[in-house]
Structure 1
Amino acid sequence: MKKLFVGLGLGAVIYIGYWSYQMYLFGRGVQEDTKRIEKLGLPDTIVTNLIPYRFIKRTGEDYEFDTLDYHSINFNYIIYPSGELLKSNKSQSFKSKLSADKDITKALFLKYSDGIILFYTDSDMETSRSYVESFTDSLEKRWVAIIPGFNMGKPLIKNKYAYVTAIGFVGKLNLNSGEYEWKYENLYKSDDHSYNSFDQIIIDENNVEFISHHYSAEEKSKVIVNDKNGEIIRID
């Protein structure tokens, strides 16, 4: 019996230790984001509640897209592959439909003002593009903006603007109107695969740097744009 209690006690210690370590990692990530905010002088909206990317799950020889979900304090949100959007809790539920006409492959969630904004990508395994769509708190549509391409990157949020990327594309989007302040397309270079995707966005004084890591070589390419007037400063 003594050995049984010792075993149970050791198991409990290991279990508690494991989840304590996970919370430590989560806390460290939040601290690193906070330090970056303080360094850049950006508002707290840079730390957004995002739906993690969900990859396609394979069933036999066919591809099947998974649902995407986000759990807030008061509501649960679910995006189905068909584009159906559901918001619910124990006493209320709201439904809407995303503007995409293909299966939803990945999405990001942002609580903004008195509603939500979704950044997402659709695909039929042959063609694909990305969207930014704004909804009221009751899931009524406000506006939708197109990001012309796949490989949508994690947006950088600053005040009422989202800096967005996809293959060969960078832009600054007004989150109140859904209109682009400026945008650049056709940046992808087929010879060395530059700007296939963007991995990092940095705001440095008056300029915005969109950084792309080459997946075939240990190199980086940058698109640097003047944040105010939208003029390109540099393209590697």
Structure 2
Amino acid sequence: MRRADRLFQIIQIFRRSRRPITADAIALELETSKRTIYRDIADLMAQRVPIRGEAGVGYVLDGGYDLPPLMLTPDEIEAAVLGAQWVASRGDPALARAAKDLIGKIGAAVPERLRPYVIEPASGAPPAWKVVPDGLDMARVRAHIHAGRKIRLAYKDEAGADSERIIWPVTIGYRDTTRMLVAWCELRADFRSFRTDRVTDAEFLEDRYPERPAVLRAKWRRQMEEMRAQWRKTEPSPN
């Protein structure tokens, strides 16, 4: 690996990690020596890249630092295009348009030598069949998730029973043909998942829920992790 590429990859490793990362871990990923990583980090700091930390403890990259846009590797381009293809065929209309625009922007911005990775990628997402339409405006749902605002839903469950409830939307899960809206349900006082095609009416309220969106998502993730851990305990062991 060229030194310039290695320096770029070190910054990428820092950018995707929320915790201090050691020179050992970086060296292992980049298949080089720890001494080389120490020297590279010192050079980056000398170039005013805001890296904090020390040898043996770990390093972090201060927030707010960024590199010139679209300095992408071929694998990163393939990953971005594959993900955008999947969203373009399975996302709601607004996200599908955004995914197609994203592919176009990447193709226009990357160097000529990398353009084939966008126009003729080596991998592709299969087309989605019989995607069920949503019963509410998903663009507004995403806006309410970011804003931490409540939604009043009229919902028909799998058995056909109707209910009305106020929810605190957390995240949207995408399946091949349906979408799931994960939310805290005031009626059940717990997290619930709602198939968006079973929503018969929705009112987007101005009321904010008492939790910050990030805190609510963290609580949901912890609950999911606890449920998975419990499931693993009760799963029969293989013979």
Is the pair's TM-score, using the shorter chain for normalization, greater than 0.5?
no
- Higher Cα Rg: structure 1 or 2? 2
Question: What's the TM-score, normalizing by structure 1?
Answer: 0.26
Question: What's the TM-score, normalizing by structure 2?
Answer: 0.26
